[in-house]
Chains A and B, each alone.
Chain A
Amino acid sequence: MLYFAHMKYENPELAGGVEDEKNQEVAEAVLVMERIRRLMEITRDPVVCKGAEAFLRTVVNAGISGADLGMGVGEVLSWSAHAAKLIAIKFEISLLNTTPDVPFWVNILSEAGEVPTLGTASTHSLASILQLIPDKKRMGTGVEKVKKIWRGRDQAVHTPEVTAALETFAK
């Protein structure tokens, strides 16, 4: 697809005076539109979305694991996460499942650790750490995709071979 094909603007270095100023404004507007287009492409990209979901899951799991340390509201949060996971599996609502790559029995069995520690252990940490292993890769892939989309065709155009080819036809 042609870049900037929908917008025409003169090269501001060639024109002069009032025309030059107008061309500069149009050129700036085109650049802004291109940046917005890239941001929209980033938000729509499925790999980026998976990476963002993985990041949110990591934050939520870290919060629940932290709160689970010690007795109190952490137990409520931990068991709520288990209930939400069950509902997510039953009704296929992926957003409610904070540990989709961890089997449900691991979440439940890890709660057994609360008994000898009198509820002070952060048992949700086990499921959180197991979930972090695949999510870390998803986050990394998502970040790489964001960089690739944001930098556009930079990697295709700014290479030594292309530079040498352009020098062959230098004015």
Chain B
Amino acid sequence: MTERDAVATLLRTVDFLTPKQQRLMTEALVSASDEDVHSIGVFLAAYVRAEAEDLKRLNA
């Protein structure tokens, strides 16, 4: 999976964006540089990873 596709997936997953915000941010991804995409991806991945770990603990 490319980093841009991964960021688009994570943008759809996080719960702090409205559908409109998700759509606008996904559109902005197209013109973002590779470094910017990587930085955004690292941030979103950290958020989703932390939520996934908490969910595992909650639902254990």
Contacts and interface: CB of A to CB of B under 8 A. Distances in A.
A95 B58 CA distance: 35
Interface SS majority for chain A: helix
A164 B2 CA distance: 10
A105 interface: no
Contact residue range for chain B?
Answer: 20 to 34
Contacts of A34: 58
B27 interface: no
Interface string B1-41: 11101110110010110000000000000000000001001
Nearest to A38: B58
Interface string A153-171: 1101110011011111110
A158 B55 CA distance: 9
B42 A153 contact: no
Given A1-B15, A162-B9, A164-B1, A157 B58 contact: no
Interface of B: 1-3, 5-7, 9-10, 13, 15-16, 38, 41-42, 44-45, 48-52, 54-55, 57-59
